[in-house]
Amino acid sequence: MFDGKYILISAVAAIMATIAATVSNGLGWPVWAMFIGWVAFFFGKSSLSGAAATFGCLAIGLVLGNVAGICIGLLAPKAGFWAISPVVFVVATVVVSLRGVPVLNNIPAYFLGLITFFAAYLPLGVSATVSLILPTALGVVAAFCTGVLQKHMSVKAPV
């Protein structure tokens, strides 16, 4: 079970994760956000178009998180802590309804985008979304490259 090929395939993932984390850190991007992109990749199809679709859902989730934060902020002076209730209801309805869109139906990636935006606790605005789109994109790309390399290594040579 733990033969040389198994260990090599595991090492590819570790090396790619190390490279992506180092690049993210070197660019001043949150490494944890890069790993959110990495995780999101595995909820979609492992093709190039699947990775792009997953990233699209993740990015939309980030944008929805930003919009939700703005809406909560607008409602909070009147509604207090209840401001979150209608906003979460609307956002969750939108996200769950997107399961019917053939290409952009990766609900976990939307929610990972939302989680990422709120976990970052950044000031609301376009720059906050952009600052999270870049490292999550790096994570999706790194996971995709890992999968391609691992698949190439797993192909059996003709006898």
Domain ranges of the chain: 4-154
Q: How far apart are CA 105 and CA 64, in angstroms?
A: 15
CA–CA separation, 115 vs 104, rounded Å? 18
Q: What is the pTM of this model?
A: 0.89
Say if residue 5's pLDDT is above 90: no
Q: What mean pLDDT do residues 3-16 have? A: 89
pLDDT above 70: residue 6: yes
Q: How many CA atoms lie within 13 A of 53 on its CB side?
A: 19
Q: How far apart are CA 71 and CA 91, in angstroms?
A: 11
What single-letter DSSP state applies at residue 100? G
pLDDT of residue 114: 96
Two tokens at 71?
Answer: 């809406």
pLDDT value for 156: 59
What pLDDT, in 10s, does the model give residues 116-156?
A: 999 999 989 999 999 999 999 999 999 999 999 998 887 65
